[in-house]
Amino acid sequence: MDKELIAKISKDFETLKGNALGILLFGSHAIEHETVRSDIDVCIVAPKAEPKEIFDQILKTTLPGRYDIKIFETLPLKIKGDIIDNHIIVWTRDKGELTYYLYKWGKVWKDQKMALRREGMEIFS
């Protein structure tokens, strides 16, 4: 884990922390498979905020272009599952609350995968 990158992300996303429960790093940087061309995938977890508020805040910031920012609550279940399985917590207001929130979504994803497998669909890992 690149502690300098984590610190930079935390600083860059300072203005979004007021409405967020957590900020997660996911994608190639989280699993240490990044290349020089990799973007930095960041997920804002904000269950109590309106996604439009978060999007508006993001648009008002001057974040570097290398960030690919997602809002957890707006993502399809498969992407939520991928993030839950492979993420690094950059910042959280309450680690217990964030962990429990992600656990609940992880359980929904696990149940969905099992249901699809029962129907003969093996399209998810």
Whether residue 64 is predicted with pLDDT greater than 90 in this model: the reply is no
Write down the pTM of the prediction. 0.89
pLDDT level of residue 94 (50, 70, 90 thresholds): very high
Domain 3-118: give its CATH code.
3.30.460.10
pLDDT at 17: 96
The count of other CB atoms within 10 Å of the CB of residue 30 is 20
Q: Give the residue-averaged pLDDT of 66-83.
A: 95
Whether residue 107 is predicted with pLDDT greater than 60 in this model: the reply is yes
Query: Phi-psi bin for 120: left (phi > 0), alpha (psi -120 to 50), beta?
Result: left
Q: Where are the domains of the chain?
A: 3-118
pLDDT at 1: 65
Whether residue 79 is predicted with pLDDT greater than 60 in this model: the reply is yes
Whether residue 26 is predicted with pLDDT greater than 90 in this model: the reply is yes
Yes or no: say if 41 and 28 are a contact pair by the CB < 8 Å rule: yes
Whether residue 124 is predicted with pLDDT greater than 60 in this model: the reply is no
pLDDT at 102: 98
pLDDT one-digit tens code per residue, 35-52: 888 899 999 999 999 999
Give every strand in the sheet of 40-45, ordered side by side: 67-71, 40-45, 22-26, 87-92
Q: DSSP of 68-94, one letter per residue? A: EEEEGGGS-HHHHHHHHHSEEEEEES-
